[in-house]
A = this chain, B = another copy of it.
Amino acid sequence: MKKLINQPENVVEEMIEGIVLAHPEYVRKLKEFNVLVRKNSPITGKVALVSGGGSGHEPSHGGYVGKGMLDGAVAGDVFTSPTPDPIYEAIKAVDGGAGVLLIVKNYTGDIMNFEMAKEMAEMELIKVDYVVVNDDVAVENSTYTAGRRGIAGTVFVHKIAGAKAETGATLEEVKETAQKVIDNVRSMGMALTPCIVPAAGKANFTLGENEMEIGMGIHGEPGTHKDTLKTADEVTEHLVCKILEDLKLKDGEEVAVMVNGLASTPLMELYIVNKKVNEILWEKGIKVYKTLVGEFMTSLEMAGCSVSILKLDKELKTLLDATADTPAFKSL
């Protein structure tokens, strides 16, 4: 296991400390919990957004805490849902009286723990609601999931619901916008290599020298099939076609595209994938309004990528363009 770590059992705590030391102008840590909240939390009168999940997907979610995105991020152990307690503490720390929206990726453990935290907070008379992101079109039901998995499309939910909350919208309105993003975003990924959970010390699955996994989840959950290595164009065509089978875009419609690196795949390759995504969409008469290329929802050191496509309307375009200022996502 070649990792720049100290003790495997301390990686999340040391990472959180490293984040706070790097970005004290954005975030502070809740004492005794691996929870990052905006430095100036709670913000009176603003709906607060909390997300989180297992660690190992950085910059998700702590990197998105800041103006125009999240108010709090809860970090579980690597690839393990946080328990209800830290989620509940996050809710209490960020609630400014207008309520809290939880953005949960569709994994059984996350759903259970975020729901429990919601109930705990409601007993303290905090208004809490939640949305569940399930953008991965690869497979129905999976290792940790009933229904579709939530993957990189979640970052669009953070950005757009976060911008909505900054407008002074109510909890119901912010939830409605978050749900609109979820209804209109689809993703699919692939992996060239596995990754190693530090505490396990060995790869979470195996792939041959000339093999890749199509539809792979962000924890190494199996995808739709293994395949021999193909060109970037062929891989991209497969991912985008699967997404478009499900999203059903019409000629002239506008989308946002995210080409997300799982970690080890160089930016050079992500841009090559982006070129092909654009060509496919252009051929179908679909207009790309905005593109994000980079590492937004990673899987430790896995090599591979995912493509997300979000169908836009006027509201979503305005909110996607709005100012955001967080450690990992800035929009001027």
Any B CB within 8 A of the CB of A85: no
Task: State A19–B212 Cα separation when bound (angstroms).
Answer: 25
**28 A-B pairs, CB-CB below 8 angstroms?**
A2-B192, A2-B193, A2-B303, A3-B192, A3-B269, A4-B272, A5-B231, A6-B232, A11-B272, A14-B232, A14-B272, A17-B271, A18-B271, A18-B275, A18-B278, A21-B275, A21-B288, A22-B259, A22-B274, A22-B293, A23-B291, A56-B268, A59-B267, A264-B303, A265-B301, A266-B300, A266-B301, A295-B295
Task: State A252–B199 Cα separation when bound (angstroms).
Answer: 39
Verify A22–B271 contact, CB threshold 8 A: yes
Instruction: Collect the chain B residues with CB atoms within 8 Å of residue A73's CB.
Output: none
- Quickly give the copy total for this chain: 2
Instruction: Collect the chain B residues with CB atoms within 8 Å of residue A273's CB.
Output: 4, 18
Verify A58–B2 contact, CB threshold 8 A: no
Seed contacts A56-B266, A263-B266; 10 additional CB < 8 Å A-B pairs: A2-B229, A4-B192, A14-B271, A17-B271, A21-B275, A22-B271, A22-B291, A301-B303, A330-B331, A330-B332
Verify A4–B305 contact, CB threshold 8 A: yes
Instruction: Collect the chain B residues with CB atoms within 8 Å of residue A275's CB.
Output: 14-15, 17-18, 21
Verify B233–A6 contact, CB threshold 8 A: yes
Any B CB within 8 A of the CB of A89: no
Task: State A298–B271 Cα separation when bound (angstroms).
Answer: 15
Show the binding face of A for B, using Cβ within 8 Å: 2-6, 11-12, 14-19, 21-23, 55-56, 58-59, 63, 192-193, 209, 212, 229, 231-233, 235, 259, 263-275, 278, 288, 291-295, 298, 300-301, 303-305, 323, 325, 328, 330-332
